[in-house]
Structure 1
Amino acid sequence: MTSIVYINGRYVPETDASLSPLDRGFTLADGLFETMVASGDRIFRPNDHMLRLQRGADVLYIRLPPVEDLMDAVYESLRRNGLSHSVVRLTVTRGIDPGRGLDVTPDIATSVVIRVATWHGPLDSLPQGRSLLLSHIPRNNLSPLAGIKSLSYVEGVLARLEARRSGADDALVCNMHGFLTGATSSNIFVMIDGKLLTPSEGDGILPGMARRTVLEEAKRIGIFVEERSLTSDSIAGADEVFLTNVVAGVVPVVSLFGSPVGLGVSGTVTGRLASAYWNRVVSELS
């Protein structure tokens, strides 16, 4: 079945969807996005997604449509596509600009695109362990784009390509000072000498919804997590490593920089937090 896409007030089959070549999201990556997961018409942490979108819009001086209107369009998109479990991509750009270059034509209308795709839904077991290499491409923690979900993701694309071409699943990315910010589209947690650690927000990470949920659930079940600056050298001998992403959930890492993590299998803490995470997701989507 062809999915239905929302574009600027219209619901159209994905095969018929089109964007103006003058849209600044296309010409300049001048926009934002959120990726959400849903079961039926229930979305995981919708308010938090909208708050993050608004914060990003404030940074970029983009005037968002009313949040209520955006969410109405999201829920209608879910209804029209009728999937049991969905990934929802909400994209907002500065709009269609008849001018050229960087200057913004005053009072252009914001563009909104919503695409719904199939999601595997909450998991009852851990996914296959991943292998990570270290990317040579830095993430600019001094940029105003650090910490927001900008459309400009080409650095992540290059880092992922670099990893895949070297035989790994993904890459870890450092900031301009050599501190880890996470993988290309995931946050990272490491277990070292009985302590669970994750990079701090001040290092230019994009704090994801899954990361926030894991922090909350870890506190609830009595696992202390310390947010601090980490380097590739400091995590090389970690006992456990896992990634978090709202679509994939908690993903174990079994190989780091070409060496096994621990025994080369998912660890106990990773399993406990994955279970707690998915229980939380199920409770909010039921």
Structure 2
Amino acid sequence: MSELVYLNGEFLPKENATISPNDRGFVFADGVYEVIKYYNGKPFRYEDHLARLKRSLNEVQIGFKNLAELEHIFHRLLNENNLAETQSGVYLQISRGANKRVHNFPAGITPTVYAFAFPMPSFTEKLEKGISVITREDIRWLRCDIKSVALLPNTMLYNQAVESGAGECILIRDGKVTEATHSSVLAVKDGTVITHPLSNLILPGITRKVILEICGANNIPVEERAVSEKELFDVDELIIAGTGSEITPVIQVNNTPVGNKKPGEITRLLQHKFFEMV
């Protein structure tokens, strides 16, 4: 059975879904996206994802207004692709639309809206045992708060992690940890969770937000500040967090072990509370 996708108001087989070569998402990476995880057919933090999508659209001035119809679209994609009773994800991409190649934002064009559903199981072994990561210079642009489809720097850096046998790449800008290529980064030192404050340099991660809520509910101190590159090699625990990563322990940075090279107590507590929620 062919995979069913959504494109510009239609549900159709994936092999029949086509866009114009003049689409600005293709020509300029002029678009934004979201990935929402569903646990047995129920979206996790749907309203948070929708609010972030709306913000990204506003920041890049894409005039897509039909946000209310998305939930129905996503559920139909899950149901028609037999994914409603599993851990699944829905990818949504909205580009500015097709137009002749001009560098300004053209008026009066219709956004291109594309969505598909896919299996998204938890990485159980990584959640249990943890992963190693590498560090690299943060070579991305200065509007990382927008969930843009312009991900070439992220993919280049993540590919370096894959080639070195690591599970992620943590990014360093001006001597400070920002985030990872597709995850938030949170450190634990002396019982305090530390993470970069929201700014133009990091994506406002949904899982990051959930972790901070869990910390507040469980009297775990939090510092929202940038961890220095030097500090990174002296933390007690380290976490990457995201829709796909969930709450994954980091046990080694480059060639340096984190703590005793095992997931720590606070990481385990956060995992436990997180999976209680989902």
TM-score (norm 2): 0.93
Matched, 1:174 2:172: yes
Matched, 1:42 2:73: no
Measure the CA separation in 1 of the matches of 2:154 and 2:23: 22
Q: CA deviation at 1:267?
A: 0.9
Measure the CA separation in 2 of the matches of 1:133 and 1:122: 19
Tell me the residue number matched to 2:207. 210
Measure the CA separation in 2 of the matches of 1:213 and 1:52: 14
Tell me the residue number matched to 2:196. 199
- Count of aligned residue pairs for this structure pair: 276
Cα gap change, 1:243 to 1:200, in 2 (>3 Å): same
Match of 1:220 among 214, 217, 223: 217
Tell me the residue number matched to 2:145. 147
Q: Could you tell me which amino acid in structure 1 is paired with residue 244 of structure 2? A: V
Tell me the residue number matched to 2:78. 78
Match of 1:163 among 161, 172, 181: 161
| Residues 126 and 248, structure 2, Cα contact 8 Å, conserved in 1 | no
| Residues 127 and 249, structure 2, Cα contact 8 Å, conserved in 1 | yes
Q: Tell me the secondary structure at the aligned position of residue 33 of structure 1.
A: strand
Q: CA deviation at 1:110?
A: 0.8
| Residues 181 and 203, structure 1, Cα contact 8 Å, conserved in 2 | no
Q: Tell me the secondary structure at the aligned position of residue 115 of structure 1.
A: strand
Tell me the residue number matched to 2:58. 58
Q: Could you tell me which amino acid in structure 2 is paired with residue 204 of structure 1? A: L
Q: Tell me the secondary structure at the aligned position of residue 201 of structure 1.
A: coil
Q: CA deviation at 1:223?
A: 1.1
Q: Could you tell me which amino acid in structure 2 is paired with residue 267 of structure 1? A: G
Measure the CA separation in 1 of the matches of 2:158 and 2:124: 24
Cα gap change, 1:162 to 1:123, in 2 (>3 Å): closer
Matched, 1:103 2:82: no
Q: CA deviation at 1:203?
A: 6.3
Matched, 1:278 2:271: no
Matched, 1:30 2:27: no
Identity of aligned residues (%): 29
Q: CA deviation at 1:18?
A: 2.1
Q: CA deviation at 1:40?
A: 4.2
Unaligned runs of at least 5 residues, structure 1: 282-286
Q: CA deviation at 1:109?
A: 0.5
Measure the CA separation in 2 of the matches of 1:232 and 1:209: 24
- Provide the alpha-carbon RMSD of the alignment: 1.9
Unaligned runs of at least 5 residues, structure 2: none
Measure the CA separation in 2 of the matches of 1:128 and 1:109: 47
Structure 1 ranges of 4+ moved more than 4 A: 121-125
Tell me the residue number matched to 1:133. 134
More off after superposition, 156-165 vs 51-60 = 156-165
Cα gap change, 1:123 to 1:223, in 2 (>3 Å): farther
Q: CA deviation at 1:59?
A: 0.7
Measure the CA separation in 2 of the matches of 1:46 and 1:246: 11
Cα gap change, 1:193 to 1:41, in 2 (>3 Å): closer
User: For each residue in 1:181-202, what CA deviation from the matched residue of structure 2 results, as whole angstroms up to 9, or x when unmatched?
Assistant: 1111001111112322111113
Q: CA deviation at 1:35?
A: 0.4
Q: Could you tell me which amino acid in structure 2 is paired with residue 200 of structure 1? A: P
User: For each residue in 1:109-142, what CA deviation from the matched residue of structure 2 results, as whole angstroms up to 9, or x when unmatched?
Assistant: 01110110012169699344111111134334xx
Cα gap change, 1:124 to 1:254, in 2 (>3 Å): closer
| Residues 126 and 271, structure 1, Cα contact 8 Å, conserved in 2 | no
Cα gap change, 1:73 to 1:275, in 2 (>3 Å): same
Measure the CA separation in 2 of the matches of 1:39 and 1:235: 33
Matched, 1:240 2:237: yes
| Residues 40 and 82, structure 1, Cα contact 8 Å, conserved in 2 | no
Tell me the residue number matched to 2:12. 12
Q: Could you tell me which amino acid in structure 1 is paired with residue 88 of structure 2? A: S
User: For each residue in 1:9-28, what CA deviation from the matched residue of structure 2 results, as whole angstroms up to 9, or x when unmatched?
Assistant: 11112233222211111111
